């Protein structure tokens, strides 16, 4: 059994730490406004992310998917450190983004 533990630890060590930081710093998917996800207005966040997604020529997906992915990425990266109030704002910004693209739920 000791061998299995050693294998798991070795595999775990090879995973780079803080991969999301590297992605954020080196990704060329979209250029976002500084501190866009710290805003308190869901409509402003949605409009800013939409503008960035439509302006970017380097994205691999369509503008809607790219914009939604950036909001989700930020939300997931922040994890437990994201305050409940700001999480709610980001979730509302996703709804606003759906409205801007005519993709409302329901």
Q: Which two tokens stand for residue 77?
A: 């990266």
Q: Where do the structural domains in the chain lie, given as residue ranges?
A: 36-106
What is the rounded CA–CA span in Å between residue 39 and residue 33? 11
Residue ranges of the chain whose pLDDT lies below 50: none
- Residue pair 56/32 in contact (Cβ under 8 Å)? The answer is no
pTM above 0.85, yes or no: no
- Report pLDDT digits (tens) over 67-87: 999 999 899 988 889 999 999
CA torsion, ordered 45, 100, 79, 9, to nearest 10 deg? -120
């Amino acid at each position: 059994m000791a061998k299995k533990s050693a294998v798991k630890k070795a595999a775990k060590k090879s995973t780079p730490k803080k991969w999301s930081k590297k992605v954020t710093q080196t990704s060329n998917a979209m250029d976002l406004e500084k501190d866009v996800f710290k805003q308190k207005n869901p409509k402003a966040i949605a409009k800013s992310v939409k503008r960035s997604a439509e302006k970017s020529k380097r994205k691999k997906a369509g503008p809607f998917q790219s914009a939604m992915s950036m909001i989700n990425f930020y939300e997931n990266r922040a994890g437990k450190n994201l305050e409940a109030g700001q999480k709610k704002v980001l979730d509302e910004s996703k709804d606003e983004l759906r409205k801007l693209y005519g993709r409302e739920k329901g």
